[in-house]
Every structure is written in C-alpha cells, then in structure tokens.
Structure 1
C-alpha cells in the first residue's frame, strides 16, 4: 500500500511540475521576440499595458491573459510581448525607450491595447512588422476575447 501511495504521489508531483514549466513566456525584448516569432512562423501579440495603474489592463490580465484557455491558444498561435508603461515600478532605460518607440510606431493612445503583427525581414535584412489588427478589453472573458483575436489572426 505504501508503494502505491508513493507512486501516486510521485506521479502527481511530476505532472504538477510539468504544468508549472509550461507557463507562458511574456517577452520584454522586441528583438528577441521578433526572432522567435520569425523562426517559429508565429504572429507577435503586442500587449501595451500600464500594469501597476490601469484598471482595464488588470481586468484583461485576470479575465483573459491568465486563463488556461488563453494559455492553450497563445502557445499555438503567438509570441507574447509585454510593452509596459508602469508608474510605480522602475524599468531599465532600454526597455523604457523601446516601449516608447513601439507606442509611437503603433500610435497607441490608451490602455490596454493589443496589436497583432506578423514579423517580416526584407531582402536587405531590415525588420518590419505587418500589422494585422488590434483589440483591447472585450467583455465576456477569455471566450469572447479569443473570438476577436481569432478573427484577426485568421485573416493574416
């Protein structure tokens, strides 16, 4: 009986560990995310957020971006990039500058804003982002938000 209990316990711990290892990676370095998306032939999901002050951003995180439905969808479809504009949390100067550049490039005027973009390299080796569409907070949780996201992603 002790052997069975031990084996059961080890199985549970091993599967819990593998689930924990499968958590999503939110990149903060656009260059790295661009390279990964290009290599894996995936779309970039660019999440413009005010993580420590924006109520709608926090709602989007809790109702969609931290759900298992979103995790499953994201692993198959996108490379995640968080472009954060916190008020209380300190950021590295390079990240702050990069996020500001991206905000200007995509003309983001409010938070949360989520852009979907396909990474492309030109013949000269320059990097381009082909914008597919954008969304923000969508009422109805992960299911409704993913409907909107799928409509944008499928049209690429």
Structure 2
C-alpha cells in the first residue's frame, strides 16, 4: 500500500513539474508563427543570462515562479534573446539577436518587450509594440501588475483594428 501511495505522489509531482515548464523560443520567426496561431502576443526577453545581475534576479524572482508560469502559459509566447559572454551561440542566432537589439533600441538589460509580430511574404518580421518593462522589485505579483496591461492591450488593439476595418468595408 505504501508503495502505491509513493508511486502516486511521484507521478503527480512529475506531471505538475512538466505542466509548469515553460517553452522559451529563440527563433523569432518560429515564435511569431506560434503567436499568430495561438492569438497571443510575444514577450521578448532581452537578457545577458550569464553576466547581468538584474537579469538573473528577474529570472529567479519572477520568470521561474509558478505564478509567472501560469500567467505566461495563458497569455504570451515567450522569446529569449540572449547576449551571453561565456556561452557560445551560433552566428545565425547572434545575428538575429543583434538585429532585434538594434530594431528595438535596447540599451540595457533586462528589457522585456511585448509585441505582435507578422512575417511578410519576403520573410521579414515586422513588430507592433505593445509596451515594455524591465526588472520590477516585489516578486511576480508586482511584475505581473506592470506586464498584464500590455497583454490586455493586445486584445483591445485587435478589436479596434477589426472595427475600423469593418467601417471601411
């Protein structure tokens, strides 16, 4: 009987930990496709994962918490744009991340941008910015209080566009 209970607890623990694991995309075009399919905005996390103290704090205090995990799974497609100093990256990934850093005017880390993305017929990614933030003291609730309006605006923006298109028709 004890073995059955232990196995049950183990299986529950495994399923809970798998449910909380987040999918972070590094390929922006792939993330945009998922974003459009799921009708969720992108959350672009610009980070120096192995050297930036504030980035590491944001990860530990917010991005690795169950509260954030639930919110992220329900509301956004996560994209990590990393600028490490000690971890090797492919030239393609470095190029993509540098272009995005320039396009968004990133001057400090961490920076988190919320955006909608589209891919043109030529394969170029275009973004519609929804807002940005960085490290916010106070844990996940304080950070989510700042981030949540950007995500809610994504839905409102879509509704306004739909209305304005129907007026033109």
Shared fold (TM-score, shorter chain, > 0.5)? yes
> CA 1:98/1:127 → structure 2, altered by over 3 Å: closer, same or farther?
closer
1:7-86 → structure 2 map (5 Å cutoff): 7-22=4-19, 23-86=21-84
Contact 2:61 2:140 in 1 (8 A): yes
Q: TM-score under structure 2 normalisation? A: 0.85
Match of 1:132? Answer: 130
Contact 2:47 2:111 in 1 (8 A): yes
The alignment's C-alpha RMSD in Å is 1.6
Q: Which runs of 5+ in 2 are unaligned?
A: 155-169
Deviations along 1:44-89, one digit per CA (max 9) or x if unpaired, are 0000000111111011001100111000100000111100001111
Q: Which has the higher helix share?
A: 2
Contact 2:32 2:119 in 1 (8 A): no
* 1:122 CA displacement: 5.8
Q: TM-score under structure 1 normalisation? A: 0.92
Which ranges of 4 or more aligned residues in structure 1 deviate by more than 3 Å?
120-127
* 1:102 CA displacement: 0.6
> CA 1:125/1:51 → structure 2, altered by over 3 Å: closer, same or farther?
closer
Deviations along 1:114-150, one digit per CA (max 9) or x if unpaired, are 0001123568886422110000000111110000001
Q: Which runs of 5+ in 1 are unaligned?
A: none
How far, CA to CA, are the matches of 1:73 and 1:87 in structure 2? 30
* 1:9 CA displacement: 1.4
Q: Secondary structure at the match of 1:155?
A: helix
> CA 1:126/1:102 → structure 2, altered by over 3 Å: closer, same or farther?
closer
Q: Secondary structure at the match of 1:128?
A: strand
